[in-house]
Structure 1
């Protein structure tokens, strides 16, 4: 058996071996070893993608998150040259789907859509997963919630609604727009908290999403509702409901006459739903950047703005670190709102 190490080299040298040759050979082997260790990551990124990429959607088929995800997956297939099938992994108020993304192998072949609810699930004790469990690819949509009232109802604007809330007894007035602890419930809680009104003043009527909550408003079952402007579009066009303020830092481009909550009341509060593409934490940085570049091109494709504008969805592209900062801020707001309604653990 050949001796190894410095002792072996010394013996070879004493028996006539060339020390420079030995040193050179060992340096070359060391260099090659480093190259071999470094190769997998760079090679993996260079060859990526070499097979289909699964996109997980934590919500059901037919909803806004599903619709936007399927558009992006279709355009991403053209950009990357591999299939990007969508899988709806529902259940647990978003826990099942978000967990599936977070726990997937971090090789870039499983990505998904993270939504606002990822900031609320851990505050409610439903999961330990939060935004830190993901590699942020990019935020592609953020729709602020708005306050809706019946078009033929007694509230002409946000001021008249708030005056009625202040003058009412606890739980006399009712609101709806989502499940208990959902984004639209938290919008009402945050609104009341910002105005210094006890959260229990308004009774929350849970609904299976914004659509049934807005239908309840139109039918007279509740006094007001909160939902995004796109979610209220059909009933607005039918003349049955109207928005009186939007929980955003700036006015909607589609409805420039609609005041922000701050403009209407003088109180500062903003909240809304959002959607962004993420991958499991630990994905190779070069692969993550490849995805950011590809999806950055997707959101500039003509089909994308046509689809989003037709359905009233706000468009943006906030990649990487900026998206992570956005998620951290959203997480903090969700925690504050959940504490206000007594749902934080």
Structure 2
């Protein structure tokens, strides 16, 4: 080989082969294998159902299975912890729920929304104000006037356990109306369904669970929803006004679900996942599934979801301090 030694030729050949091996054309496109989607709550619930329709549609978009893994325990601490501590390679993502903005205030975990890489907010369900059909209160204004005229604790409400999201919604609402956090006594329950049963039985004066959770009782003509704590009406329940419409108070809160990854996931993977999630959110399959169950749909991209969680975290902290539940 004139002008080139055998050693130089061999070295240049190896370099050329390595260069070809690692060119972008040969790089694996994410995702190259199945992805785990962790849900901090049990199978069969609303979070699980929402995660499974998202996972099914992500598989269609990205060509790899998205396997839902239910990791329960510690009021959501276990599952959220597994999402936060997973390898930031994009192959473990998860569903964040409103509890991630609550648990650290109760000193149940060190995790906050800042321990995650937000991808998208896809569901938001504001609480409603429900009374039984036998209640004398036909509007939220009638109910509030009666609450204000009564001594603290005279009215009883429920919708979840002590310090749960619907309890804090009531506390925030009372404060927004200029009343003490304990103006309405809270009766802890194991969820919205038993609370609605207690409402119908006359053991409660109102519930503050979401309207979808109260839907069966409302459709059975055993209860009615007087208002929702949201900026706009729910299209699935167009006859239920917002608090601002009926009371003039601009207070809103919600239970919500979004998709996130561990801290440190690459921007390229974040963009790919968020783009796919946007297509899922816009699909008729997702919208029909959520509407059929009365679940609210919303879209906030990674940056908007991060801002949303920061605001939710502050709001939950204020409500917990007012109710005496904050320990951190």
TM over 0.5: yes
Give the equivalent residue in structure 1 for 2:79: 97
Query: Are residue 151 (structure 1) and residue 163 (structure 2) matched?
Result: no
Q: Does the 8 Å contact 1:45/1:287 carry over to 2? A: no
Q: Does the 8 Å contact 1:140/1:276 carry over to 2? A: yes
Say if 1:326 and 1:45 are closer, same or farther in 2 by CA, change over 3 A: farther
Shift of 1:289: 1.0
Where do 4+ consecutive residues of structure 1 move more than 3 Å?
42-46
Give 1 or 2 for the bigger CA radius of gyration. Answer: 1
5+ residue gaps, structure 1, are 1-24
Shift of 1:256: 2.9
Q: What CA distance in whole angstroms lies between the structure 2 residues aligned with 1:211 and 1:44?
A: 54
Give the equivalent residue in structure 2 for 1:277: 259
Shift of 1:99: 0.8
**For 1:111, what is the secondary structure of its paired residue?**
strand
Q: Mapping of 1:1-345 within 5 angstroms? A: 46-345=28-327
**For 1:200, what is the secondary structure of its paired residue?**
coil
Q: What CA distance in whole angstroms lies between the structure 1 residues aligned with 2:260 and 2:105?
A: 20
Q: Does the 8 Å contact 1:245/1:258 carry over to 2? A: yes
Q: What CA distance in whole angstroms lies between the structure 1 residues aligned with 2:35 and 2:25?
A: 18
Give the equivalent residue in structure 1 for 2:4: none
Q: What CA distance in whole angstroms lies between the structure 1 residues aligned with 2:36 and 2:25?
A: 21
Normalising by structure 2, we get a TM-score of 0.90
Q: What CA distance in whole angstroms lies between the structure 2 residues aligned with 1:93 and 1:121?
A: 8
**For 1:245, what is the secondary structure of its paired residue?**
strand
Q: What CA distance in whole angstroms lies between the structure 1 residues aligned with 2:312 and 2:137?
A: 30
**For 1:197, what is the secondary structure of its paired residue?**
coil
Say if 1:170 and 1:52 are closer, same or farther in 2 by CA, change over 3 A: same
Q: What CA distance in whole angstroms lies between the structure 2 residues aligned with 1:45 and 1:209?
A: 48
Q: Does the 8 Å contact 2:236/2:291 carry over to 1? A: no
**For 1:138, what is the secondary structure of its paired residue?**
strand
- Give me the CA root mean square deviation: 2.1
Would you say how many aligned residue pairs link Structure 1 and Structure 2?
Answer: 311
Summarize deviations over 1:163-188 as a string: whole Å, max 9, x none.
22122222221100011111100110
Q: What CA distance in whole angstroms lies between the structure 2 residues aligned with 1:96 and 1:191?
A: 30
**For 2:102, what is the secondary structure of its paired residue?**
helix
Q: What CA distance in whole angstroms lies between the structure 1 residues aligned with 2:127 and 2:299?
A: 19
Shift of 1:112: 0.7
Q: What CA distance in whole angstroms lies between the structure 1 residues aligned with 2:250 and 2:141?
A: 15
Give the equivalent residue in structure 1 for 2:3: none
Say if 1:267 and 1:205 are closer, same or farther in 2 by CA, change over 3 A: same
Shift of 1:252: 2.1
Shift of 1:202: 1.4
Shift of 1:86: 0.8
Q: Does the 8 Å contact 1:45/1:286 carry over to 2? A: no
Shift of 1:43: 8.9
Give the equivalent residue in structure 2 for 1:15: none
Q: Does the 8 Å contact 1:177/1:213 carry over to 2? A: yes
Q: What CA distance in whole angstroms lies between the structure 2 residues aligned with 1:43 and 1:127?
A: 44
Q: What CA distance in whole angstroms lies between the structure 1 residues aligned with 2:111 and 2:263?
A: 11
Shift of 1:84: 1.2
Shift of 1:254: 2.7
Summarize deviations over 1:263-319 as a string: whole Å, max 9, x none.
222222111111100000100110111111112112223311111111111112211
